Structure 1
Amino acid sequence: MIRIEHVRKVYGRGEGTVVALDDVNLEVPQGQIFGVLGQSGAGKSTLIRCVNLLERPTSGTITVGGQEVTALSGRSLRQARQRIGMIFQQFNLLTSRTVAENVAFPLEIMGESKTKRRARVRELLSLVGLEEKADVYPAQLSGGQKQRVGIARALANSPDILLSDEATSALDPQTTRAILDLLRDLNQRMGLTILLITHEMSVVKQICHQAAILEGGRIVEQGRVSTLAAQPDSRLARSLFPRPENYVARPGSTVVTITFAGGNASEPVFSTMARRFELDVNILSGNIEAIGDERIGQLQAEFAGEQVPDALAYLRNLGLHVEVHA
């Protein structure tokens, strides 16, 4: 649905030049939720604004739904943008308009009749659970309700794609979960492709099918979230599963990192192994995370005993990833 190829964005000239994006390549499949994860200043907002050409790349191409939007301008660009909805961190609602009038605003710009606008607004407010708030003003809403209005407004033109620019970072954890559940529901019910940027790992692990990590304007890692989480050396896995630092193994023992995925994450593998191979096991750290509908865990432990090599082979035969530390 979205293809970003060799995109570069530079601000300023000479000594004041800032490279916000540097040779970024990304593909967002149709109907998926794709997260771009990065810290402040990584280039995330610039990237998402380039998709609908609120920022025009210095070089490279962006294709949306088979149409190269970086080649468009004027009326053709405005028409292409109608297929792309966007929600913002600070909601960007019109304070002098009611909830219904905010949602209707894109339809007014398109010249839709009042009858069609009213019907579409009712449909959208029902979709986001705000039917009873149609006639109130943004100042009377909570942060979560404001973001629901922003989502309804972004869907007014029935877009194929929804862009989310840190849409939950101003919300409390409970409201964030509710908004993410809404976005996942929209994705499943409408087949909506969602590209979201965030600095929060919790957002990525809760709803994203795929993710990319942006550092210093460059993509340093990308793939399916569950796949990356199951790779111990990936940046995403290291963020999810912090390891103990500067641990010195006892003489005669072996320190290992074991990654569990799927059903193995819920099985008593360690206790079975310790009894079978007569090992002393010292757990150093561990955690299990829910990644979408899959459970993935990582455990660091110290093994001691004569049958450690056999125990490691046993774990590998179960399909677990076993990393032995020197």
Structure 2
Amino acid sequence: MIEFIDIRKIYHQGEHKIVALDGVNLHVKAGEIFGVLGQSGAGKSTLIRCVNQLEKPSSGYVRVNGQEITSLSGVALRQARQRIGMIFQHFNLLSCRTVAENIAFPLEVIGYSKLRRKAKVEELLALVGLEGKANAYPAQLSGGQKQRVGIARALAGEPNVLLSDEATSALDPQTTRSILELLRDLNQRMGLTILLITHEMGVVKQICDSVAILHAGKVVEQGSVSDLASQPDSLLAREFFPRSHNYIPRPGTVLATVAFANESARNSIFTTLTRRFDIDVNILNGSVETVGDRRVGQFQVELAGIKVTQALEYLHNSEYAVEVH
């Protein structure tokens, strides 16, 4: 649904140049929620704004649903943008307009009749759970309600792509969860492809199907969230499951990280190792997390006993991911 092909974006400040994006290649499948994770300055906002050409890449191409967006201008670009909704961190609502009027604004631009606008606004208010708020003004709404208005407005043109620019970072944790649940519901009910940027690991963990980690304008890791989370050496797994780096193994022991997903997460693997191989298992840290609809676990353990090597081979052959330190 969305393709970034060798995207570079360079800003010039006097004699200096800032490389915001440096050869980014990403493929977002139709119907998935794709997260772009990174710290401030990584290039996330620049990347997402290249999709609807709020930012023009210095080089490279962006395709949306097979159409090369980077080559469009004028009427053709405006028509393409109607199929790409966008929600923002600070809502960007018109304070002098009511909730209904904010949602109706893009419909006015498209050219809907007054009667058709009214019916569409009522439909969208119900979709985002804001029945009864049509005549309220933004100043009368909570942060979560403002973002729901922003989502309804973004869906007014019936897009097949929704861009989320740090849409939950200004909200409290409980409101963030409710907005993410709404986005997941819209994704599943409407087949909506969602590309979101965030610096919050919890957002990726709760709703993203796939993720790309951006650092200094480069993609340093990408893939399925659950697959990356179940790989001990992935950057995402290290964020999900922080390790103890100061622990010094006892003489004669082996320090290892064991990761697993789905059915493996339901098994008492360390009890099995102790009974089958007569080894000691000292769990240093770790947990089992729900990532999307999968259970993913990772533990850092210290193993001791004569049959540690056989135990590690058993883990490898049983589809556990193991990293020996």
TM-score, normalised with respect to structure 2: 0.98
Aligned 1:22-171 pairs, distance under 5 A: 22-171=22-171
CA positional deviation for 1:272: 2.1
Match in the other structure for 1:313: 313
Whole-angstrom CA distance in 2 between matches of 1:164 and 1:79: 20
Q: For 1:123, give the aligned amino acid.
A: E
Whole-angstrom CA distance in 2 between matches of 1:71 and 1:277: 63
Whole-angstrom CA distance in 2 between matches of 1:8 and 1:313: 45
Q: CA RMSD in A?
A: 1.0
Q: For 1:59, give the aligned amino acid.
A: S
Whole-angstrom CA distance in 1 between matches of 2:308 and 2:25: 44
Whole-angstrom CA distance in 1 between matches of 2:202 and 2:108: 37
Segment of structure 1 superposing worse, 269-278 or 109-118: 269-278
Q: For 1:16, give the aligned amino acid.
A: H
CA positional deviation for 1:109: 0.9
Q: For 1:37, give the aligned amino acid.
A: L
CA positional deviation for 1:236: 0.6
Whole-angstrom CA distance in 2 between matches of 1:152 and 1:118: 13
Whole-angstrom CA distance in 2 between matches of 1:20 and 1:259: 34
Whole-angstrom CA distance in 2 between matches of 1:313 and 1:91: 53
CA positional deviation for 1:14: 5.7
Whole-angstrom CA distance in 2 between matches of 1:217 and 1:96: 38
Match in the other structure for 2:238: 238
Whole-angstrom CA distance in 2 between matches of 1:322 and 1:81: 46
Specify every segment of 5 or more residues in structure 2 that has no aligned partner in the other structure, as ranges. none
Match in the other structure for 1:283: 283
CA positional deviation for 1:317: 2.5
CA positional deviation for 1:66: 1.0
Find out whether 1:262 has 2:262 as its counterpart. Answer: yes
- Find the residue that maps to 1:264 and give its secondary structure: helix
Match in the other structure for 1:198: 198
CA positional deviation for 1:310: 1.8
Segment of structure 1 superposing worse, 267-276 or 39-48: 267-276
CA positional deviation for 1:275: 2.2
Q: Count residues with an aligned counterpart.
A: 325
CA positional deviation for 1:307: 1.4
Q: Deviations over 1:42-74 (max 9, x none)?
A: 000001111100011111111111111110111
Match in the other structure for 1:188: 188
Whole-angstrom CA distance in 1 between matches of 2:68 and 2:315: 49
CA positional deviation for 1:316: 2.1
Match in the other structure for 1:175: 175
Whole-angstrom CA distance in 2 between matches of 1:203 and 1:13: 34
CA positional deviation for 1:246: 2.7
Moved over 4 A (4+): none
Find out whether 1:299 has 2:308 as its counterpart. Answer: no
Q: Deviations over 1:221-262 (max 9, x none)?
A: 111111111111111111111111132111111111111211
Specify every segment of 5 or more residues in structure 1 that has no aligned partner in the other structure, as ranges. none
Among the aligned pairs, what percent are the same residue? 68
Whole-angstrom CA distance in 2 between matches of 1:204 and 1:310: 36
Contact 2:233–2:323 (Cα < 8 Å) also in 1: no
Q: Deviations over 1:191-239 (max 9, x none)?
A: 0010000001111111111110000011111111111111111111111
CA positional deviation for 1:324: 1.5
Whole-angstrom CA distance in 2 between matches of 1:10 and 1:228: 30
TM-score, normalised with respect to structure 1: 0.98
Whole-angstrom CA distance in 2 between matches of 1:154 and 1:28: 19
- Find the residue that maps to 1:130 and give its secondary structure: coil
Match in the other structure for 1:21: 21
Whole-angstrom CA distance in 2 between matches of 1:291 and 1:103: 33
